[in-house]
Structure 1
Amino acid sequence: MFSNLTQNFEKLFSQPHDFYVRAPGRVNLIGEHTDYNDGFVLPCAINYETRILVSSRNDDQVHVIAADYADQSDQFDLNSTINKHPSFLWANYVRGVVKYLQLRIKSSKYPQNTLKGLNLFISGNIPQGTGLSSSASLEVAVGLAFRHAFGLDLTLADIALNGQQAENQFVGCNCGIMDQMISALGQKNHALLLDCRSLETKAVAMPEHLSVLIINSCMKRNLVGSEYNTRRLQCEAAAKFFDVKALRDVSLSQLFDAKQQLDPLVFKRARHVITENARTLDAAEALTKGDLATLSQLMADSHASMRDDFEITVPPIDALVEMIAPIIGKQGGVRMTGGGFGGCVIALTVPEKIEEIRAKVTKDYPLYSNGIQAKFYLCQASEGASVIN
């Protein structure tokens, strides 16, 4: 799908591009809704990505064209206050990243860094609205484009944090830091154990014989308008009850000691986060050892916790997990991945099981989805964002 970008760029901007940036989507192996609770996550970057072709301008205008939205275009001035676009949601991710890059530079020890105008031509093959982080990928790609164009003194982690800030404060979704960090810092053939408090990362090698199969339920979700922010508020209420910064600081025994004083719903939300943190650390260890039986159980427990305690799965997603789990057995695992309320299921499995999974899902899933067929993406754990000259 990227084959005609170069020619189209020249047609649209009447000049060749100078370089392009790429930033991958991600799938989270385990560790759901733990990131904004200062917990642990275990994602890997995938071989589906956002690409932005870039050329310089001799003014302070940023001109953006989105190939995947029928070449819709946006233009804004770096010398004026950057406000939301009245009708294009995709444009707000770009505007937000640039706005917070400007603020970050002004407040940094490198205020001599400045932004000038750029032409940006955006395309991507990450399926949107599926929990594979097309938005975080876009944020990281835009940040990297400006860093490279103007030699900004920012690390890839800074680029990730800037993207999160844009999504939280400009777009209006209170996401954690995981999606942007894995898009920026992913490593080929590895997952990344990320401590969302310290931002320390540890590369975790994926067993060579394990395939990453993503099954898209094709149940559309929209986090900005969904119950994502409600879950975050419930977690914050639990942390406030215990007078700690985040649920990361509460043990399971502390939680059970306080069960009678807590709102039952808040208790369930907190139990998910606390147990999911433990599962994530255990899963990283199991992957390192190639212990697929333990991984299988951890992923099953994670899904049950998302379904029963955090209540973010939907019946078609639960059906997918239930039909795939017996096929994989103890040779991998399966669970919902992403923010919830639709989206995708991740199956870690030996390659010889993939066709059986495809056949089973193709035959049975439409019974649970009003006839909708699922889509399959066979992925590799890929490297993070990069610039190609």
Structure 2
Amino acid sequence: MSNPAQRANKLFVQTFGTTADDLYLAPGRVNLIGEHTDYNDGFVLPAAINFHTIIAIKRREDDLFRAVSDVYPGKINSWHFGQEDQVHPEDDWVNYLKGFTSALAASGLPAKGMDLAVVGNVPLGAGLASSAALEIAFGTAVNESSQLRLSPLAVAQMAQRGENQYVGSASGIMDHMISALGEQDHALLIDCEDLDSEPVPIPESLSLIIVNSNVPRGDFDAEYHLRHEQCEQVADHFGVESLRHLELSMLEAAASELSDVNYRRAHHVLTENRRTQNAAHALQAGNIAKLSELMAQSHASMKDDFEITTPEIDTLVEIIAKVVGTQGGVRMTGRGFGGCVVALVDHDLTDAVVDAIETQYQAQTHLEPTVYLCSASDGATRLDDELYEL
């Protein structure tokens, strides 16, 4: 089977009848710890993963963009820069591209058009940031081809702005930053308030395992937005800009002034911020027993305080936790209500973990899991088009 770079080039030639100028890549991500803290200006600890979106592009001299995806081969979507019009639900993936160019235009930055072909292997709908990988690969291509000289962080901010204002998704900055700034063999501790980031090495002794529960997710967007609103309500109650500026002692002292639900939502965010910083320190020090404890606490908080896990997700976490004990950590990752769990486990236990998942999860839930053995990868880049192997 051809590699993604070859597939992108082939799709480009088939669609536009000429060869591409360049190839750009951006990774998906997994969040090791720090869930629902990003839009509360808190701390997150994601890693870019070796699943990518790749875009083959050819620069144009006008302002027209023409895009095709291997998901819908033969269907060319087109728009003019600064004339993105309204969102079209049937053009779901293209809206993320239009969002980026819309944000550029609104910022007063010029951009030349391009023809582009998109391929990728980031699992869709699994909570591994396939949309951010698409936005950042495209944004990096536009930035370089139009010589805008934006930093990777500025590309991430532009992508988030487009997703928030054009697509209408209230996403935080985490997905875009890690896709743009990821470092091989490292996680990234991100402060979502001031956008500082610090690479945190993942010990060579650990395997990074992601397991898709394949739980049907339903309308989880509504639940996500509800959690967002509940956190804002607590921040408003205390007169602070975000939960980042609320001390846990203040929350606990005023518990009677809040509904039980809103108290628990805020309690998760405040304690998760502490756990995330402590987890980064534990990872840096190679203290896997401490990391295991913190990831277990994070999952319990998502289950009890934030109420975003499912019985199937909890089962998956329990299966893995029984195998790894203190020699690794496991928790749900992503927005919740299905999706994936992430595990960092001692290499020697990798086969035992995979075997336990494959023999126990389906028997208990009647769902077949999908297991991904991953590695932490670099962020977005332009590719040398001769060789690219995952």
Q: TM-score, normalised by structure 1?
A: 0.95
The whole-number CA distance in structure 1 between the counterparts of 2:238 and 2:23 is: 48
Match of 2:310 among 305, 314, 317: 314
Q: Contact conserved, 1:130 with 1:220, CA < 8 A, in 2?
A: no
**Aligned with residue 55 of structure 1, among 39, 54, 58:** 58
1:246 is matched with: 242
Measured after TM superposition, the shift of residue 326 of structure 1 is: 1.3
Q: Secondary structure of the residue that 1:173 maps to in structure 2?
A: coil
CA contact (8 A) 1:173 1:223 kept: no
Q: Does 1:82 align with 2:78?
A: no
Q: Does 1:234 align with 2:237?
A: no
SS of 2:282 mapped into structure 1: helix
Partner of 1:161, secondary structure, is: helix
Q: Verify: 1:44 aligned to 2:47, yes or no.
A: yes
Unpaired runs of at least 5, structure 2: 385-390
Offset, 1:356? 1.2
2:266 equivalent among 264, 270, 276: 270
Matches within 5 A, 1:107-186: 114-186=110-182
* 2-structure distance, mates of 1:71, 1:81: 21
Q: Do the aligned partners of 1:214 and 1:378 also contact (CA within 8 Å) in 2?
A: yes
User: Matches of 1:135 and 1:96 in 2, distance apart?
Assistant: 11
* Root mean square deviation of aligned Cα: 1.4
Q: How far 1:75 sits from its partner (Å)? A: 0.6
Contact between 2:43 and 2:273, CA under 8 Å: does it hold in 1? yes
* Worse-matched range after superposition: 279-288 or 50-59: 50-59
Structure 1 residues 86 and 241: alpha-carbon distance in aligned structure 2, compared to 1, 3 A threshold? closer
- In structure 2, relative to structure 1, the CA distance for the partners of 1:79 and 1:208 (3 Å cut) is closer
The correspondence of residues 212-227 of structure 1 with structure 2, limited to 5 A, is 212-221=208-217, 225-227=221-223
Q: Give, as a single letter, the amino acid of the residue that structure 2 aligns with 1:57.
A: R
Give me the identity figure in percent: 45
Contact 1:336 1:344 in 2 (8 A): yes
Rounded Cα–Cα distance in structure 2 between residues aligned with 1:297 and 1:33: 19
1:34 to 1:71, Cα distance in 2 relative to 1, 3 A: farther
- SS of the equivalent of 1:235 reads helix
Q: Is 1:68 the counterpart of 2:71 in the alignment?
A: yes
Aligned counterpart in structure 2 of residue 346 of structure 1, from 331, 335, 342:
342
Aligned residue identity for 2:31: N
Match of residue 110 from structure 1: none
Q: Which amino acid aligns with 1:361?
A: I
Structure-2 separation of matches of 1:388 and 1:316: 39
Alpha-carbon separation, structure 2, partners of 1:346 and 1:223 = 22
Give how far 1:222 is off: 6.6
| 1:93 to partner: Cα distance | 0.6
In the TM superposition, what whole-angstrom CA distance separates every residue of 1:317-337 from its partner, at most 9, and x where no partner exists?
A: 000001110111111100000
CA distance in 2, matches of 1:79, 1:40: 34
Work out the CA distance in 1 between the residues paired with 2:99 and 2:180: 17
List runs of 5+ in structure 1 lacking aligned partners. Answer: 107-112
CA spacing shift, 1:151–1:353, aligned 2, 3 Å = same
Q: Deviations over 1:121-171 (max 9, x none)?
A: 111100011110001111111111100111003111111011111111211
SS in 2 for 1:356: helix
Structure 1 residues 311 and 86, CA, compared in 2 at 3 Å: closer, same or farther?
closer
CA contact (8 A) 1:185 1:384 kept: yes
CA distance in 2: counterparts of 1:96 and 1:224, whole angstroms: 22
**Does the 8 Å CA contact 1:173/1:224 hold for their aligned counterparts?**
no
Distance in 2, matches of 1:305 and 1:384, equals 30
What's the offset of the Cα at 1:81?
Answer: 4.6
Once the two structures are TM-superposed, the CA of residue 372 in structure 1 deviates from its matched residue by 2.1
2:28 to 25, 28, 31: 25
Indicate conservation of the 8 Å contact 2:26/2:136, yes or no. Answer: yes
CA contact (8 A) 1:189 1:380 kept: yes
Counterpart of 1:35? Answer: 38
- The residue type equivalent to 1:22 in the other structure is L
Match of 2:368 among 370, 373, 383: 373
Maintained 8 Å contact 2:29/2:129 = yes
Aligned with residue 8 of structure 1, among 3, 7, 11: 11
Please tell me whether residue 188 in structure 1 is matched to residue 191 in structure 2: no
Deviation of 1:193 after TM superposition, in Å, equals 0.4
Alignment of 1:385 onto 2:388: no
CA contact 1:172–1:224 (8 Å) conserved in 2? no
Write the distance in 2 (CA, Å) between the matches of 1:178 and 1:266: 23
2:99 is the counterpart of 1:103: no
Q: Deviations over 1:10-65 (max 9, x none)?
A: 12111110001100000011000000101000011000011110001233210000
Distance 1:222 1:186 in 2: 30
Distance 1:241 1:86, change over 3 A: closer
